[in-house]
Amino acid sequence: MRGVSHMPDVLKGPQEDRCTNALVWLLQRCSPEMASQVLSLAGLTIREPLEPVQGRIQESFPRSRPDAILEFQGPQYVVIETKIHPGMCSIRQLRNHYFGAARRFGEERISLLFLSVERSAPREITLLSKRFPGKIFFLAWQQVLLFLQAKRATLDYAEQVFLGEFFACIRAAKLWRLFAMTTDELKSFLAHFPDVWTKWVAAENALYALLKVICTQAVASSGESSESETDDFSDQLPCLYSALKIRGWHTTSSAYVFINAALGKVGVVLTGYQDDRKQKEKLLDRWRESFKNLFAADSEIRTFAWESDDEAAGDTGYFSPVQGTAGQVFDPSKIEVFTDYFYWGYWHDLDVSDSGKVSQLIAEDFNKLLTTYGSVPPAARRGNGVNKVSKGTAAKVKTRDGKN
């Protein structure tokens, strides 16, 4: 837990944290009335906002760590969880925030605010608000930014300076994309839209077809040790991926084969954990017992995180390598970027001119991961364990519109 007293405090952590930090920093420096007005956009009422708001960020509860807590006179506490990419709302995370805050501050004193780039409240928020009437609120980032932008002309000089610094942080985090284009930008966009959109969809279809071929060969290379996990996939740029289920692995989506168009890479990773405490505990036990030494002994293997904060990530995100872990013995729980998600595996430059070579390479990588870290039966290990996909398989793979 820490405060945001100075601008260096704002600029710590990933882009999502910086956006939250910047908002907390601003609300502490502007009038309590303005802080109350921002929250009223969500329908959240602050009783007697007479004293400046006090803000804390990354405060730890027993099972969660909300992005920020605003404390108003009373005391009245607003627990905030923020997202700068859509589809990231977790009902489990929000529920843990709520119960953690209720135990610490008293349920009658708390409210929970989900601040997101989505234009309307996700289903998870609707469900929680029915369970905790008058306690759960939703606010769109766009509402906040447009409100503050409109307030600029009415603020005094000091508040205008603070607001300028706030918007500088927001623009650096690419939330400026929530604002409308300028006239010139819109003209350019419309002029190129037909050509760009047509090629975009065609590229997604081609890359998804390639991904299915790669997955087919990866599963074949494992004998009976893995199968496709049909419910966990992405067929959208910049990162197309498909999950595989490994027998005996501690997560259902045990591995991912992916094509990272943003970085021009193709790879396969094992899933350590994905925002799940039990998954994390099981992985860390195995990691500390043997996996850490196996990882350090392989000079080609890499760790990966899910990147959703830079401009190239789009609305989906992508697997991105984490520097400084290759060839090292380390504990994922001690590295901040692995707090909620952890993957490790291999990737290579994407050569779309030779799909057979790409499929063979990823199948070999997957078989190596299974042999080293998984419970692979002897039948799956005979020879190199890699079966070639027959020529013409790509033609049989369904496009996005025809997939199961």
**3 versus 230: which is more confidently predicted?**
230
Alpha-carbon distance 228 to 244, whole Å? 5
Tokens of 101: 């805050």
Nearest partner of 325 among 355, 350, 345, 348, judged by Cα: 345
CA-based end-to-end distance of the chain:
45
3-state SS, residue 346: strand
3-state secondary structure of 275: coil
Across-strand partners of 241? 234, 258
Find the mean pLDDT for residues 234-243.
91
- Amino acid found at 305: A
b (16+ CB within 10 A) / e for 59-70: bebeebbbbbbb
Residue listed under structure tokens 């401009």: 311
Within the chain, how many helices (H) and strands (E) appear? 12, 12
What's the rounded Cα separation, in Å, for the pair 362 and 99?
44
Closest by CA position to 4, among listed 59, 83, 78: 59
Q: What percentage of the chain exceeds 90 in pLDDT? A: 47
Q: Give Cβ neighbours of residue 300 (< 8 Å, ≥ 6 apart).
A: 346
52-66, 278-292, 389-403: which range is least confident on average? Answer: 389-403
Collapsing DSSP states into helix, strand and coil, what is residue 132?
A: coil
Count other Cβ atoms within 10 Å, centred on residue 330.
15
Determine the average pLDDT of the residues in 346-354. 92
Residue 389 has a pLDDT of: 32
Distance CA(305)–CA(273), nearest Å, equals: 11
pLDDT at residue 78, as a whole number: 96
Give the CA distances from residue 329 to residues 244, 287, 304, 368, 404, in Å, rounded to whole numbers and listed in that order: 27, 10, 15, 19, 41
Please report the pLDDT score of residue 182 as a whole number. 65
Determine the pLDDT at residue 3.
62
Q: How far is CA 35 from the centre of its chain?
A: 28
pLDDT value for 186: 80
Boundaries of CATH 3.40.1350 in the chain?
Answer: 7-178
Q: Pick the more confident residue, 320 or 6.
A: 320
* pLDDT at position 388 over 50: no
Cβ-proximal residues to 2 (8 Å cutoff; 6+ apart), any chain: 9, 56, 57, 58
CB-based contact 252:231 (threshold 8 Å): no
Residues of the chain with CATH 3.30.930: 195-402
- Mean pLDDT over 164-170 rounds to 83
For the chain, what is the mean pLDDT? Answer: 84
CATH ID of 7-178, from 3.30.70, 2.60.40, 3.40.50, 3.40.1350: 3.40.1350
Q: What's the pLDDT at 231?
A: 87
Distance CA 26, CA 55 (A): 10
The band of 379, judged by pLDDT with boundaries at 50, 70 and 90, is very low
Q: What is the pLDDT of residue 200?
A: 87
| Higher pLDDT, residue 152 or 226 | 226
The reported pLDDT for the residue numbered 178 is: 60
Structure tokens at 69: 């807590």
**DSSP per-residue letters across 297-325:** T-SS-EEEEEE-SSGGGTTT-EEEEETT-
Residue identified by tokens 């992508």 is: 318
Residue 211 predicted with pLDDT over 90: yes
Helices (H), 234-377: 277-286, 292-296, 355-373
Mean predicted confidence (pLDDT) in 100-115: 95
Question: Could you name the CATH architecture of 195-402?
Answer: 2-Layer Sandwich (3.30)
| 133 cis-preceded (ω within 30 degrees of 0) | no
CB 136 within 8 A of CB 125: yes
Mean per-residue pLDDT for 374-385? 44
The pLDDT value recorded for residue 401 is 37
C-alpha 109/C-alpha 120 separation (Å) is 26
Q: What is the pLDDT of residues 265-281, one digit of tens each?
A: 999 999 999 988 999 99
Radius of gyration, CA atoms only, the chain: 24
Give the full edge-to-edge strand order of the sheet including 110-116: 54-57, 68-72, 76-83, 110-116, 136-140
pLDDT single digits (tens) 284-333: 999 999 999 999 999 999 999 887 655 555 567 788 888 889 899 999 99
Q: Quick check: 270 and 373 in contact, CB under 8 A?
A: yes
Is 387 or 30 the better-scoring residue by pLDDT?
A: 30
